[in-house]
Amino acid sequence: MSRKILLDKINVPGIKTYEVYRKEGGYASVEKAMKSMTPDEVVEEVKKSGLRGRGGAGFPAGMKWSFIDKKSGKPRHLVCNADESEPGTFKDRYLMEFIPHLLIEGMITSSFALGANLSYIYIRGEYMWVYKILERAIAEAKAAGWLGKNILGTGYDLELYVHCGAGAYICGEETALIESLEGKRGNPRIKPPFPAVSGLWANPTVVNNVETIASVPWIVNNSGDEYATIGIGRSTGTKLISASGHVKNPGVYEIELGLSVYEFMNSDEYLGGMSSDRPLKALVPGGSSVPILPADLIYKTANGEDRLMTYESLSDGGFATGSMLGSGGFIVYNDTSCIVRNTWNFSRFYHHESCGQCTPCREGTGWLEKVLWRIENGQGREEDIDLLWSIQSKIEGNTICPLGDAASWPVAAAIRHFRDEFEYHVRFPEKIKNRNHFVEEPFAQVKHLVTKQTV
Amino acid sequence: MKVTIDGQEIEVEAGTTILQAARMIGGESVPPAMCYYSKLQGSGGKCRCCLVEVAKGSDADPRPMPKLMASCVTGCMDGMEVNSKQSDRVREARQSVTEFLLINHPLDCPVCDQAGECDLQDLSFEHGKSKSRFIEEKRTFEPEDIGPNIQLHMNRCILCQRCVQVADQLTDNRVHGVMDRGDHANISTCISKAIDNEFSGNMIDVCPVGALTDKTFRFKSRVWFNKPYNAHRECTTPGCCGKTTVWMFGDEIQRVTGRKDVYHEVEEFICNSCRFDHKDPSDWVIEGPREFDKDSVINQNNYTQKLDTVTIATEEGILKGREQDRKKISMLAIPLDKEDQEKFNHGNL
């Protein structure tokens, strides 16, 4: 049984309410931080813990905190990014829905560390019921004196608000989130200046994921060094994984980083293996934005080592043979699923969610989607596969924000690892016009039709 | 600060962007800019046409920047080395951005009033391909009336958002903006309002393509049939300089615009009264012909050039062609040897 940090108390009845949460030792980190530590010491603990941003990029949180401009004298803000919209990721919702006070506690401790007197939780519009849960939790915390003026008699003031987004994936990008929070159209800003210098209302701002902030109370309570003992190398601590797809037990799991992918997939404590006797075909280990892995690269890396659930091991081999941990949206596919259809579905999402500000992403995502739709519906041409490759390479790296990259990586990986499946779609349009074409006839049975025969 | 762009060094002040430095040098290395407009704050960074490669970050930190940078929003650092047109990577990126801009563009230049002074035409002339790889149906929008003076062709728009910035920074009440998102993002008024601000006409001048055109000039003439003159008048509108370019056809003023420099940016913004309401030559004091750069299509009709007698070479060409044909089809007196017969069969004798 592995250590639980975030979901430790999740099964305590009534943990949603303030009374139970407090009785279970909640808000201890706020007391500890405010009474016995200086803000810089809290930042130092987080730095020592090696906690990395859980939103997808994996940037060290302590480092991000230390970049915040404290010299200018402008008011500082902490913004919690709860705009979790990545297809395949639903860990933040689970955390906020079932243990909302953990996030509030993390927000208070983190705001204290950053010297922020006005902090926000930006939650996606579709999580309206979670928004209400958080609102109630904040009201409870405020009534108990954890928020407001002069918290615990230390003279530190903090106001915390939940702001509801309006249903745009792009508002999960930190600068677009800030724009949206300011009441503008959610377009990503051009960096520099980075939010740590000029963010919300041109004030220094730190934007962190829900899970990152929720990890802070434990770090403050148990010290950063203790946190750093969990995990392997630079991947410290625990991570929430949202598992979905063709597995026996889908759901949110807290794992210690460094667990092997094989164990996570097959152990009864976690996913418990595939949902049926159909074999594993592919895996998206970190949400829709990361490259898909074919079956032979899931449990072992290209050089034969065990693949572990860490930032480093999952990206071992670069994009040629690796992927990314991303935000932890673990999507498992068995051989009934069609990679082309799946890629089209992801592309459709990015086409729909592109903000339309910069050219490559605005025009390219739509083009990708249309070409993939044609291939999936039996109207593909042989040159379309190279065309897709060309389009995605032209989007990647040329856009303002990472959405363009996120739109092109899944397409690139699908073509890289499953090119024969694309060829099958192009060459046998009659076969794939059936929506469930791989259910009766998995690709392994028809693969010989597109591979070169050697007699 | 010293910056090197495509091997040419220049001293610039702190805070200068790479694009501005490149414009100071001038010539081939100036990146194309579809959305950046030096007179508008907050413009730039969107179209990605001006991407450049930073081969050396600065003297202090000589690492190259991994990604291509938008030169219009990237500040110069001391000792920075930038590759613009000489880098293959940059040229390729510009070609791809051009391709992206054109896939949903209607390519209706033959009926577009902007043709001849269109930035997208210039861009595709330099970086575009003659063949399209886009076989899908183009995205289109319903036509929308945005007021009595300005014609909006949303299908042609490249979403540079310059017109939004004009409305924000020149007029006191913006009624239009970007609606929707992704490739359905469009410029529109909220909700179906007319744009009637006194400085709204400048949206036409800043529009790099034919998305916003002058209704009083609509379908009147191709721009290269007009003769541009610098002109001015005593304008009573507060904030208007009254200095314009009038586009004449004979004695008729067909269009009035701001005075545009080599980067197609107006020198000073003008009011709607100058632009739309004063089309009588007696309203204006004509200063003299407006100069244009030598590659401009407007120069095709240039009156400042020396007029030589035109020789029409058609007849000569026809005769030459006939002579070639005659040689090809006529029977030869002496049969050809094998080698000449081969050439003859291919028609190059």
Cβ contact, residue pair B45, A190, below 8 Å = yes
Per-residue pLDDT tens for A176-229? 999 999 999 999 999 888 999 999 999 999 999 999 999 999 999 999 999 999
Number of domains in chain B: 4
From the list A168, A360, A367, the residue facing B97 with the nearest CB is A360
- Residue closest to B127 by CA, chosen among B73, B88, B69: B88
Name the minimum distance, in Å, from the CA of B147 to any CA of chain A. 24
Annotate B137-168 with DSSP letters as a single string.
PPP----EE--SSEEE-GGG-----HHHHHHH
Task: Classify residue A171: in a domain, yes or no.
Answer: yes
**What pLDDT sits at residue B323?**
78
Same domain? For A270 and A210 the reply is: no
In sequence order, what are the residues at sequence separation of 6 or more whose Cβ sits closer than 8 angstroms to the Cβ of residue A220? A29, A32, A33, A37, A42, A45, A109
Inter-chain contact B46–A400, Cβ cutoff 8 Å? yes
Query: What is the per-residue pLDDT for A23?
Result: 93
Distances (CA, A) of A435 to A73, A445, B134: 60, 17, 26
Is the CB of A170 less than 8 angstroms away from the CB of B181?
yes
In a domain, A9, yes or no: no
Could you read off the pLDDT of B141-200 as tens digits, one per residue?
999 999 899 999 999 999 999 999 999 998 888 899 999 998 899 999 888 788 888 899
Among residues A175, A209, A229, the one where a domain terminates is A229
Query: Residues 6 or more apart from B157 whose CB is under 8 A from it?
Result: B186, B187, B209, B211
Inside any domain, residue A42: yes
Residue A245's DSSP bridge partners are A332
Query: What distance in Å separates the CA atoms of residue A91 and residue B310, rounded to the nearest whole number?
Result: 77
B44 to chain A: closest CA residue: A190
Quick check: B158 and A371 CB within 8 A? no
- Chain centroid to Cα B14, Å, comes to 29
First to last CA, chain A: 53
Q: Last residue of a domain, which of B58, B75, B96? A: B96
Give me the number of domains chain A comprises: 3
pLDDT number for residue B192 = 79
Domain shared by A159 and A239, yes or no: no
Contact B75, B1 (CB under 8 A): no
DSSP three-state, residue A387 = helix
Q: CATH number for the domain including A364?
A: 1.20.1440.230
Chain A residue with CA closest to B92: the answer is A394
Domain finish residue from A273, A302, A334: A334
**Distance (Å, whole) CA B343 – CA B349:** 6
User: Do B139 and B240 belong together in one domain?
Assistant: no
Whether residues A56 and A149 fall in one domain:
yes
Interface of A with B (CB under 8 A): 168, 170, 185, 190, 351-360, 362-367, 370-371, 374, 387, 390, 394, 397-400
pTM for the whole structure: 0.89
Cβ of B132: how many Cβ atoms within 10 Å?
11
Residue A5 in domain = no
Q: Which residues of chain A have pLDDT under 50?
A: none
φ, ψ (nearest 5 deg) of residue B162: -65, -40
Which alpha helices (H) appear in B44-180, and where do they start and end? 88-103, 119-127, 162-169
- CA distance linking residue A302 with residue A315, whole number of Å: 11
Structural domain that includes position B277: 223-301
Is the same domain home to A425 and A290? no
Tens digit of each residue's pLDDT (9 = 90 or more) over A141-190: 999 999 999 999 999 999 999 999 998 999 999 999 999 999 999 999 99
The bridge status of strand A116-123 relative to strand A156-164 is: parallel
| pLDDT confidence of residue A406 | 93
Residue A247 lies in a domain: yes
ipTM: 0.91
- Containing A331, the helix (H) or strand (E) segment is strand A329-334
B186 neighbors B178 (Cβ within 8 angstroms): yes
Closest CA relative to residue A331, chosen from A293, A365, A368: A293
Residue A113 counted as domain residue: yes
Q: Do B66 and B130 fall into the same domain? A: no
Q: Last residue of some domain: A197, A229, A261? A: A229
Task: Determine the pLDDT at residue B347.
Answer: 64
DSSP state of A82: E
Closest CA–CA distance from residue A403 to any residue of chain B (Å): 11
Residue A378 sits in which domain range? 339-449
Q: Judge: A394–B182 Cβ closer than 8 Å, yes or no.
A: no
Of B51, B136, B183, the CB nearest to A398: B51
B100 in contact with chain A, both atoms CB, cutoff 8 A: yes
* A181 and A37 within one domain: yes
Mean pLDDT, contiguous 10-residue spans, chain B (349 residues) = 91 92 90 92 90 91 91 91 92 94 93 91 90 92 90 93 92 88 90 86 93 92 87 89 90 92 90 92 89 70 62 78 75 74 69
Q: Are residues A48 and A181 in the same domain?
A: yes
CATH code where residue A311 lies: 3.10.20.600
